[in-house]
Amino acid sequence: MKYADEFRDKEIALGLAKAIRSEADPEKSYRFMEFCGGHTHAISRYGLEDMLPKNVRMIHGPGCPVCVLPAGRIDMAIRLAERPDVILCVYGDLMRVPGSQGGSLLKAKARGGDVRMVYSTIDAIRVAEEIPGRAVVFFAIGFETTTPPTAVMIRLAEKKQLKNFSVFCNHVLTPPAMQNILESPDIRNIGRVEIDGFVGPGHVSTIIGTEPYEFFAEEFGKPVVIAGFEPLDMMQAILMLVRQVNEHRHEVENQYSRAVTRDGNLRAKEEVSDIFELRDQFEWRGLGLVPYSGLKLKRAYAKYDAEVRFDMNELRVADNPACECGAILRGVKKPVDCQLFGTVCTPETPMGSCMVSSEGACAAHWTYGRFRDHQQRRAS
Amino acid sequence: MKADQRKLDIRNGCVDLSHGSGGRAMSQLISGLFHEAFGNEWLACGNDQSAFDVGAGRMVMTTDGYVVSPLFFPGGNIGSLAVHGTVNDIAMAGARPLYLSASFIIEEGFRFSDLKMIADSMGEAARAAGVYIITGDTKVVERGKADGLFISTAGVGVVPAGLDLSAGNARVGDRVLISGTLGDHGVAIMSKRQNLAFETEIVSDSASLHDFVASMLAAGGKGIRLMRDPTRGGLAATLNEIAQQSGLGFRLQEAAIPVKPGVAAACELLGLDPLYVANEGKLAAIVAPEVAAAVLAAMRVHPFGRDAAEIGEAVADDHHFVQMATSFGGGRIVDWLSGEQLPRIC
C-alpha cells in the first residue's frame, strides 16, 4: 500500500533498532511515555517492544479519549438516551464503554433508547435534518484533533438553522494531562520521576502545533518528540529521545514534520476558540479531576449545548477501588501489576479505563502482548 | 383463468401480509417466484416436506441465518450468500452437499422484483454447486419488523467413508494454509453501507467451496487434519477456535498472509484489521507438514485457490495463543475479536 508500506519497512526498522541498541547506555534505564493511544496501538500491533533493548521501556499514557472518559459522563449519556424525545448519535467505540453498575450505551439501546452509531460528525447533522421532530444529540469526545470537526458542525447547524441539534461536549486537552501526570502525588511521593521523556501526540499536534509543548519541556526538564503513527515513526522518535537523554537535552523535536508545524492549523484553532472555552476542571478516568483540561461550549452557543438544553446534572462515579489504571497511566505500575488484569477485567468486561478501547494500555497488552508475560515467567 | 394461476406482477408488485397467510396469494408467490427460481422435482410435488434416498457414508447437517445489510452487494446478494454459506459449512467436513432448505422472513412492502432477483441468484448458486433446494417456508411480517428480508437455510451432505476432519486431529508442526486473500467480503459489504459508502473495486468472495475442498482432499488425503471457513470474526476467530479445540497454539508469519491492496487500504482507513474481517469464499486448512506442498500446489491450480499460501504452523502452547511475527520484525498475539467489529455482515 503506497504511502504506508514505506513507513513499515523491516530493513529500516532493524537499522533503527540497532542504532537504539548501540546508543542506549547499558548502565542507564530509559522510560518513555507515549501519550497517545494511537502510538500505544502501533507499539503493540507491530510488536515494537521486541525490537527495543531491555533498558528502554515504553509507558503507555492516557491519550485514548474513549478510555479516559469517566463513568459519570457515560451515565449522563445513558440518561439522555433514555429520554424518548432524544436520538443520541455516538461513535461506535463508545457503545461498549462501561458506566456505573454495568450500564453502557449498547445496553441502553437494547432497552429501547435511540442510540445511533455514526462514522462522522456530519452523519449526526444528517439525522437531525431527516428527523426534525426529535432532538438529536451528538456525543462529542476526543482530544484537540476531533474538536475542530465538532466546531465546524456547530457552525453548520447554525447555518442550516437546525433547531433540534445539540452536542454533549466531552472534548479534552493534551498538555494539561501531560502536566498532571508529572505533577501527580503518586510520582512526587515516591520521590522520583519515572518518566525520562515523552513521545508527543501526532494528530493532536497537527492542530495545536509543537509550540504548546515548549513550556512543558522547559518547566519539567523532559524531552518531547512529536511522532507519527507508523512503526518507523515510533522507532525514530524513540531513537531521538535516547539521544536527547544521553546529551542531557530537553527540547521539543518534531519527528512528524510531514504533518506537523510549530504553529499547527491556525484556521482550526480559531474555529475552536470561537466556539469553545475552558472548563475549570474535567474528570479523567484514571487521573481524576484535572484543572483546565476540558472544553465546553461558550454561552453564545448554549442552544447547541446538550448539557444546558437538557439541564443535565454532572454525575460522578468512583472507579473500582482495586483498579490500578491511575498508577498504570502514570507509569508507576504495569498492567500485570493489577489484580483485576485478565481476571475480572478483560476487553469483554472492562472494569477500568485502560481496558476499554484497543488503544488503552491494558487492552493493548492483553490483546497483543500478554504472551510475553508467560515467556518471562518461564524464563525466570 | 384460475385466480391462483394469475401471474405475479413482478415488475411493479410487492409483498403484502396476504403473501404469508397460507392462502391463495402465498401459493402464487411460492409457485410463481420460488419454484420458478429453484425448479426441481422435489418442489414440484408440492408437499410440506421432501423425501430423498440416503446413500452410503455419514450424513452431515448444518443451518445458518442470513441477515446481511445491504441485501445486494458487489459480488452477490443475500440469496447467493445463503446458499454459499451453508454449502461451505457442509464442505468444511469434506462432505458433498446434497440438499438445502430455505426459509424466508419477508417484510411487507418488499418488492417482487428484488425478491425475484434474490431467488434467482439462490437458484443459480444452487445449480452451480450441484445442490437442490427441496423444501422451504415463507413468512411475511409487518413493515419495520424484518429490515427487508431474512433468509435461513439448512443443508445436508454426505461424508466419504473414513474421512474425519476435526480440530482434534491437529498436531504440533502441522502447517496452516489459507486459500486466498482475506477480508474481501467484509470490505465489499462495508463499501455499500449507507453511511460509510466508499469507492472500491473489491467484490465479495462469496462462493461454494466443496469442489475446491475435494481437489485438496485428493492431493492431501489423510494429511489434511481439518478445514474451516473464516467467516464472522475472520481468520483470527477461526484460528483461536482451532487452538482452543486442539489444545495447541499457532505461530503465523504476517508477511505470508495475502491481503488485496484495496482491502488493506479500506481497513487502514476504517481502523480495521483484515485478520478480523469476514470472508465467504475462503478456507483455512491445517495439514500435516509432509503433504503441505502438494496440497498448496493443488489449491493454486484451482480458481478459488490462486492466492493460496502457507502462513504458519501449529506449536505446543499451554495458553493456546495464536502468535504472529509481524512483517515489521516484532511479535504479537492475534487474539479473539472483542465486541462487534461490524454488525450484519452475513
Cβ atoms of residues B266 and B200 within 8 Å: yes
User: Which of B338, B340, B341 is the mutation pick for testing A, counting most A CBs within 10 A?
Assistant: B338
Q: What phi, psi does A60 have (nearest 5°)?
A: -90, 120
Mean pLDDT, residues B60-71: 96
Counting one residue from chain A and one from chain B, the pairs whose CB atoms sit within 8 A come to 65
CB contact, 8 Å: B319 with chain A? yes
Q: Does A42 touch chain B (CB under 8 A)?
A: no
Closest to A352 in 3D by CA, of A329, A327, A323, A332: A323
Contact A369 B333 (CB under 8 A): yes
Task: Please list every residue in chain A whose beta carbon sits closer than 8 Å to the beta carbon of residue B264.
Answer: 1, 4
Q: Which of B253, B332, B336 to mutate to test the interface with A (most CBs of A within 10 A)?
A: B332
- Residues from chain A that touch B315, judged by Cβ atoms under 8 A, are none
Query: Is residue B274 over pLDDT 50?
Result: yes
Q: Looking at beta carbons, which residues of chain B come within 8 Å of A50?
A: 329-331
Chain A touched by B338 (CB under 8 Å): yes
pLDDT at site B22: 86
Please tell me the distance from the alpha carbon of residue B82 to that of residue B100, in angstroms, as a whole number. Answer: 10
- Residue A16: the pLDDT is 95
Of A1, A10, A369, the CB nearest to B265: A1
**Per residue in B12-40, pLDDT tens?**
999 999 999 888 889 889 988 999 999 89
Q: Do residue A10 and residue B265 have CB atoms under 8 angstroms apart?
A: no
**pLDDT above 90 coverage of chain B, percent:** 79
Confidence of residue A376 (pLDDT cuts 50, 70, 90): confident
- Which residues are CB-neighbours of B244 under 8 A, at least 6 positions away? B320
Select the residue from B193, B259, B326 to test the A interface by mutation, using most A Cβ atoms within 10 A: B326
Residue-wise pLDDT tens digits, A102-148:
889 999 999 999 999 998 889 999 999 999 999 999 999 999 999 99
Burial of B43 (0-12, 13-18, 19+ CB in 10 A): buried
Q: What is the pLDDT of residue A356?
A: 81
Neighboring chain B residues of A1 at a CB cutoff of 8 Å: 261, 264-265, 268
DSSP-derived secondary structure for B38-100: H--HHHHH--SS------SSEEEEEEEEE--SSSEETTEEHHHHHHHHHHHHHHTTTPEEEEE
ipTM comes to 0.79
Of A10, A366, A370, which has the smallest distance from its Cβ to B329's Cβ?
A10
Average pLDDT over chain B, rounded to an integer: 93
> What are the cell numbers at A369?
502482548
Residue A300 phi/psi, 5-degree rounding, is: -60, -20
Residue B341: the pLDDT is: 61
Q: Model confidence over B110-150: pLDDT tens digits?
A: 999 999 999 999 999 999 999 999 999 999 999 989 999 99
Q: What is the Cα–Cα distance from A100 to B229, expressed in whole angstroms?
A: 39
Cell numbers given for A257: 514534520
* A142 vs B contacts (CB less than 8 Å): none
The answer to whether A127 contacts chain B (CB < 8 Å) is no
B196-243 tens-digit pLDDT = 777 778 999 999 999 999 999 999 999 999 999 999 999 999 999 999
Greatest CA separation found in chain A?
Answer: 68
